[in-house]
Amino acid sequence: MYPATQPPLKQVTQSPSKQPPEAASKQAPEAPSKEVTKKVLVVFGDSISAGYGVPAGRSYPDDLQRKIDDAGYAWRIVNLGISGDTTQGGVARIHTAIAVKPALVLLELGGNDGLRGLPLAMTRANLDQMIGAFEHNGAKVVVAGMTLPANYGPDYIHDFEKIFTDLAAKYKAPLIPFILADIITPDLRYFQPDHIHPTAEGAEIVSNTVFKTIKPLLGVGKN
């Protein structure tokens, strides 16, 4: 309630030369945030990308985002890594990645197919389908390859690795032959006890491996 001494309100006629605040606000919309205007890099992968076993914020995509920001590139990473995922699972959820309209996709799937001994023809067909779908929707794909432990046999391992090299050649896509290659040491100190997943320190090295490959695709940064 107004105080008793408050004079009665008078109707004010708007001057023709002035616009009501509502009209002014419609004509001057807020500029989109920097985050909205950044290009999107989707990491589409499994537990390696999801950061299995490392503290929150210490996966290789987390560190990759920091490297991208420090270098002055206007990109944001959407991490769609899911632990345990196979290429079949990737095909089933590819719409979630396409929906965020990525300009660049790091495709890191297939490792679980190999570890489970799934048919190589199926793995190849699934990866082929995903790369084609991403490219059809305007994204450039970087293929992150994988290998397998020696006990899987040289023939199976060779044919498994060849899937990634063949598809990268088919689509003229940048290839990381083995995404964990730079953390292989005699004592495996950059791996967790399972000898499959990187430690937090290992994940930082993996982010360097990835950054070297994708840097030419990011455009102009401050460096």
Among the listed residues 33, 95, 194, 195, the single catalytic one is 194
17 is a catalytic site residue: no
Per annotation, catalytic residue among 49, 85, 197, 207: 197
Active site residue 49: no
Q: Is 187 a catalytic residue?
A: no
Catalytic residue chosen out of the listed positions 47, 49, 59, 207? 47
Compute the distance between CA of residue 58 and CA of residue 49 in angstroms, rounded to an integer: 11
Both tokens assigned to 1 = 């309630």
**What span, in angstroms and rounded, lies between the C-alpha atoms of 207 and 75?**
15
CB 65 within 8 A of CB 29: no
User: Alpha-carbon distance 83 to 89, whole Å?
Assistant: 11
Look at the alpha carbons of 163, 169, 172, 174 in this order and tell me if their dihedral is positive or negative. positive
Write out the catalytic residue numbers.
47, 194, 197
